[in-house]
Amino acid sequence: MAHTSEAANNRRVTSNIFKGSVGNLIEWYDWYVYSAFAVYFSSQFFPEGDSTSQLLNTAAIFAVGFLMRPIGSLLMGRYADRYGRRAALTLSITIMASGSFIIACTPSYGTIGLLSPIILVLARLLQGISLGGEYGTSATYLSEMASSGRRGFYSSFQYVTLVAGQLVALGVQIILQNVLSEADMISWGWRIPFVIGAIGALSVLWLRRTMDESEQFSKMDSESRENAGTIKALMKHPKAVLTVIGLTLGGTVAFYTYTTYLQKFMVNSVGLDKGVVSWINFCALLVFVVIQPIAGMLSDKIGRRPLLMSFGILGTLLTVPLFLFMKQAHNPVMAFLLMTIGLIIVTGYTSINAIVKAELFPTEIRALGVGLPYGLTVAIFGGTAEFIALWLKSIGHESLFFFYVAGCIAISFIVYWRMGESSKDSYIESELKKEDKGDNVPPNNISF
């Protein structure tokens, strides 16, 4: 009987993780489609000019979308902590679908002039709010739904589906590149992936409506519910907030450098064909997806901190050499290998950052605590990475960007070096033990 009950519980956990993850995939697909197809639609939203200037304009709007993510993290994190993870995840996917549909239908600059980029900005603001709420709530939900001793493994699926969303976007791009001419892609073909994203987001609504709410949220006492999702409650955990900011800084800059900017770098700086670059990105990201749960599983065995430390050390030392070699990598195979090495290094952060952050906060402010400091850091540093890179290229100092990325990772390394092991001082595990024992022993705090 016990075996049957355990099997049923495992099926329930797997089902809920799947439902949460599929929605996460669609959210990130909608977000990444913008970046993947920017090389085609940049000329449709802005006046004629050189390709770097037009890409710089689209990168600026990409960064503007990021500025809304902290607002989304605040609004949706508070909503998730007060009304439930499932309700917040359902709302976020609805907002993302709206943004994708608006972009798909927006006329070009040649048709409506300045209104075209204005509407594009407004659509990205909506998507920024949605994604800002998605990250913290999704990280919280996956971490709370996962079984004890396997939280690193299960929570790694946040980045599995996050990157899978980008892979789907690249897959759609590759298919369209082979079906449509470049002229058609620039004229109207770029709208197709946004339509796909809007339809996919609407279809995932049903899945999210059938998810179970996490037990930790459902079992919150009345006192905790009164303070749930408030800034006042969050400010009682300043070390945890600073830890999230510090550990995110280098990770987000490195992640968006390798997964978003690198595609444009290969086309605009290395000189590789757009179609070839799409395949390089697709294959490298596929490797990246596969190793996320492996690294997450490893963190359940040896702890989270060793993986973070490996990212900090290797990222600081190897980022500049990797990009200098990449700039000379006119061979697609070499470009693929260099990109893959970079992504393997970044895995030390991506595979476990969600669970590390979730372990730092109690249930009543977990979604807000994970999402808000992360959203602020990503908005300031992750969202501007591509813009900074293109700006430095436009003034003839592209190589300075490589040192900038390495410097951000070095700062995070200091945080990893000084912080404690989150899996040993986890609020999630401590709260479960408190429920089992019926005592009021508070969990240990993360040292920093």
Predicted local confidence at residue 445, as pLDDT: 44
In this structure, which amino acid lies at residue 419? M
Among candidate residues 18, 295, 21, the one with its CA nearest the CA of residue 139? 21
Number of Cβ atoms within 10 Å of the Cβ of 88: 28
DSSP 194-256: HHHHHHHHHHHHHHHHTPPPPHHHHT--HHHHHHTT-HHHHTT-HHHHHHHHHHHHHHHHHHH
Q: Number of H helices and number of E strands within the chain?
A: 24, 0
**What angle, 0 to 180 degrees and rounded to 10, lies between the N-to-C axes of helices 115-145 and 51-67?**
50
* Both structure tokens of 74: 């605040």
Predicted local confidence at residue 322, as pLDDT: 93
* CB contact burial 160-176 (16+ within 10 A = b; e otherwise): bbbbbbbbbbbbbbbeb
433 contacts: CB under 8 Å, gap ≥ 6: 441
**Domains of the chain, earliest start first:** 19-213+237-437 (1.20.1250.20)
pLDDT tens, N- to C-terminus, the chain (448 residues): 455 566 667 777 788 888 888 888 988 898 888 877 877 887 777 766 656 656 666 667 766 777 788 899 999 999 999 989 888 998 998 898 899 899 999 888 778 888 888 888 888 888 889 988 888 898 888 888 877 778 889 889 888 988 898 889 888 988 998 999 988 998 889 999 999 998 888 888 878 878 888 888 888 777 677 778 889 889 999 999 999 999 999 999 999 999 888 888 898 888 888 888 888 988 999 999 999 999 999 999 999 999 999 999 999 999 999 999 988 888 999 999 999 999 999 999 999 998 999 999 998 999 999 999 998 998 889 878 888 998 898 888 889 999 999 999 999 999 999 988 877 877 887 766 665 555 544 444 444 4
Predicted structure pTM score? 0.82
Nearest-angstrom CA–CA distance, 309 and 59: 31
Predicted local confidence at residue 348, as pLDDT: 95
Among candidate residues 146, 119, 120, the one with its CA nearest the CA of residue 18? 146
* Both structure tokens of 265: 């770098």
Nearest-angstrom CA–CA distance, 435 and 158: 27
SS3 185: helix
Alpha-carbon separation of residue 405 from 226, 257, 342 (angstroms): 41, 8, 12
Alpha-carbon separation of residue 181 from 68, 178, 184, 190, 241 (angstroms): 35, 8, 5, 11, 49
Predicted local confidence at residue 441, as pLDDT: 42
pLDDT in tens, 382-394: 878 888 998 898 8
Nearest-angstrom CA–CA distance, 324 and 84: 47
Among candidate residues 130, 108, 126, 104, the one with its CA nearest the CA of residue 117? 108
C-alpha 326 chain-centroid distance = 24
Nearest-angstrom CA–CA distance, 349 and 371: 16
Residue 104's Cβ-side half-sphere holds a number of Cα atoms within 13 Å equal to 18
Report angle CA 233, 234, 240 to the nearest 5 degrees.
140
